[in-house]
Structure 1
């Protein structure tokens, strides 16, 4: 039996506009089944928008799409799915139904579409089929577990399982590895290689260049809503890709600023929530950046949330300037001078349907009120414009809804809102997830400027290169406990990984 015939997908002259924004301008894109292609560009380059056109999320585009040299019309998600085009979105919580089980989420299209004309749903079939898919993916999650009980990484795997539950010709991944651990990423890559063997075309949107160079055959680069180039991975270097993305040379990623450290300002003793984190002892000096390192599931996010009063701590103390704090809610944390930029920005970090101005001023409305009664919209807009200018947020205006910004610019808004509160302690949980190299550099620069002003910075990430580049010291978490405290200048990525995986 011969190899399956390869099918070509072409997008020609694709343009699309949103209020005040021309997101795509005459973009060409092509790929084949049985191959994997990287689609890359800085935040706001238009790559996610292009794939939303292809997957039917945006139907008001101009231009043409061809499959196997035949013109096709894709104006809604059903059109795309009927043509065998599936997408796995980056923001998992907006794509899953939390009060349904894993199996029901995986087989959602089956229950909504295929069962619409029938009166009885075969739950046994749904759970058996979803279990078969999870087993094929080597994912150890019960199909009867509620999605609301899953970790971020498990939710991502459920989305991937849903995408491959139906036969598809082209599968789009939007930042699929962002919430995954190293072993889960390897498992995903195994699935991708198997899909290619089955003649599925895989399109990868990601900012993690080493991964793209490992898994992809070709790479397409976009910039400012336009096509820049398509090249074979074999014929281009990672540095060249970055230069094409940004339209300039990148330079050093991490700013070199010598910051004098002051006395210990913030510390925890015996701190824990009784479930995910235990016996946490950390301290942060004035002007110091400390890292919370660890793999996915180590407890980094739980620690960040507990320090911000989002999760109730039942043991130990949090101390600021020698005074014990009672952090029973985020509101109390903010009043005490603690700020958090959370990992799941769309769910917890921003108000997606509100304007940039509303987001930036939301945590400190008192500052913009007149006689503590009326809001001064003029003051709000001035403050928003200053943050937009200082952080380089790409937005048509301060009135633009945050949902219309790219992922990296949404992250800048999530960070920017805290800059006008003048907090004492800034907690960053995976702040560069889904952010391009140019925006990452902006975020690192911002963090160093905060440290220079004497702020305490807690930086939680599983990106080892970032830990090495931005922190003064770090605490390595394993299984919810501190496995080791390390001086950044005296360690390396291998040692961090050793303690992250339970090494003694």
Structure 2
């Protein structure tokens, strides 16, 4: 159905794609995978019309297709659901308006009245076909991350979709929601829709996809039936080498308590939180999607108002009413949604690395020592292995894994004692995950207190010393990681007592 021939594209200082040949048959579920920066998302942005300065040819049903804009791609039935959901939705519009947005813009003539009742009925029918129970009258900025993802998928299939591209679609979804998504994908397959599935979660790819294409350094290096290959083979092709042990060894030298939280609550989901973190310790916060892990992290960082309880840092009670209060008291957060809350995407790598530590580069109260700022940014890029053409490159142009390293790097420049990581490996490849795990382990070795919040139970078991299991905004169990397993954590995560 779809063929891309000799696709190449360049960005300043980077050849992102080099003569890539890629094709997909109708009614097939095709996995597209590669390390961060391999070019898979770039290739799909070419196909979906987001990039128009590529070289090469695209054929649709055997006919050459001129795809130089998203509108032209959508006219052919090519729809893409991007990984960063908040950049694709309009927060102040309703669910129904967001789902039917394309039809409102392109499907109506000038000066035509909107039949709001019909619009919401059509949107509700689409959501019902997905078995998603969200009111179409609810504003998008009131939704959870998982709900926003389902709204985007509903919008994509609201038109005559012939090729659906899903970029890390399961990253914000719970297991139940993921199973519903897979049900939908199989339904689309029966209707002969081609589905291109981008993900770093190999078990999912092998469960749902029939074919797999692997990219590395802007080139296609492997294409196989999933039944004819294995996860280890795919990882080797992705990285160009075999992967070392995923979780770095962590011989904990645990000291005194750096953070103690007593009876902490927020205005929403967090209830009566009691936790403590010691020097050199990695403490896990485990739970399913929507359990309250992110809200706990935000409350500890002052990004969500505290309504009760107290926080004690180094034995001294502190008042954390804002993120600036948290930073002053040595508490920093690497948030789950890095593009929304962790960096300024339109600014350079240098700016993002130094923006939280400007006092270090100031002289005479207001003047900035730009040479020192650039020098330290370059040192941090080298230390963390951030792949970028230069420190002046916009962060928006980096891969997800390298963006995450920038978000972590800005806090490494400061003097924090307590690091909070909320889903730090979300949307990054296995190689970048290993590097991020190494950074977190190194912080613990330096005597920092680390909070590691994740719904990936294997990562919780591989990285932490102790774990608090969260259900419905409340800690329901505390365990030593070495004496538990995934089944026990999952039992308490689902409300077991």
Instruction: Give the TM-score of the pair, scaled to structure 2.
Output: 0.99
- The CA distance in 2 between the partners of 1:470 and 1:429, in whole Å, is 13
Find the partner of 1:61 among 54, 58, 62: 54
Q: Out of 362, 369, 372, which is 1:376 matched to?
A: 369
User: Would you say 1:144 and 2:173 are equivalent positions?
Assistant: no
Residue 222 in 1 paired to residue 215 in 2? yes
| Alignment partner of 1:175 is 2:160 | no
Question: Does the 8 A contact of 1:274 with 1:315 survive in 2?
Answer: no
The Cα shift of 1:249 comes to 0.5
* Partner in structure 2 of residue 189 of structure 1: 182
* Residue 13 of structure 1 pairs with residue 6 of structure 2: yes
Q: Residue 5 of structure 2: SS of its match in structure 1?
A: strand
C-alpha separation in 1, matches of 2:276 and 2:370: 39
Per the TM alignment, residue 119 of structure 1 is displaced from its structure 2 partner at its CA by 2.0
Residues 116 and 388 from structure 1, CA distance in 2 versus in 1: closer, same or farther, beyond 3 angstroms?
Answer: farther
> What is the deviation of 1:420?
0.5
Q: Is the Cα contact below 8 Å between 1:9 and 1:68 reproduced in 2?
A: yes
Q: Which residue pairs with 1:469 in the alignment?
A: 462
Query: What does residue range 269-280 of structure 1 map to in structure 2 within 5 Å?
Result: 269-280=262-273
Coordinate RMSD, CA, aligned: 0.7
In 2, distance between residues paired with 1:422 and 1:446? 15
Which runs of no fewer than 5 residues in structure 1 stay unpaired? 1-7
Q: Decide which moves more: 377-386 or 348-357.
A: 377-386
- The 8 Å contact of residues 166 and 195 in structure 2, kept in 1 or not, is answered as yes
Look up the match of 2:337.
344
Of 421, 426, 441, which residue of structure 2 is paired with 1:433?
426
- Residues in 1 aligned to 2:104 and 2:368: alpha-carbon distance in whole angstroms: 48
Q: Deviations over 1:233-252 (max 9, x none)?
A: 00000011000000001010
The alpha-carbon deviation at position 479 of structure 1 amounts to 0.4
Q: Separation in 2 of the partners of 1:265 and 1:86?
A: 49
Q: Which residue of 2 aligns with 1:3?
A: none
The SS at the match of 1:351 is coil
Pairwise CA distance, 1:167: 1.2
Distance 2:331 2:57 in 1: 50
CA distance in 2, matches of 1:422, 1:210: 39
Aligned to 1:257: 250
> Are 1:333 and 2:333 matched, yes or no?
no
Per-residue deviation, 1:483: 1.0
- In 1, the alpha carbon distance for the partners of 2:22 and 2:373 equals 41
Q: How many pairs does the alignment contain?
A: 497
Displacement of 1:274: 3.6
Contact 1:339 1:423 survives alignment (8 Å): yes
TM-score, structure 1 as length reference: 0.98
SS at match of 1:443: helix
C-alpha distance after superposition, 1:38-80 (max 9, x if no partner): 0000000000000000000001100010112111110000110
Any idea what SS the aligned residue of 2:96 has? helix
2:88 to 85, 95, 120: 95
Q: Shift of residue 18 of structure 1?
A: 1.1
1:445 aligns with 2:424: no
Structure 2 partner of 1:487:
480
Describe the SS at the equivalent of 2:306. Answer: coil
- Whole-angstrom distance in 1 between the partners of 2:190 and 2:40: 26
**More off after superposition, 383-392 vs 147-156:** 383-392
Q: Any idea what the Cα deviations from partners look like across 1:410-469, whole Å, max 9, x if unmatched? A: 111111100011201000000100000000000000001100010000000000110010
Alignment partners' CA distance in 2, 1:274 and 1:257 = 37
- Could you tell me which residue of structure 1 aligns to residue 277 of structure 2? 284
2:153 to 152, 160, 180: 160
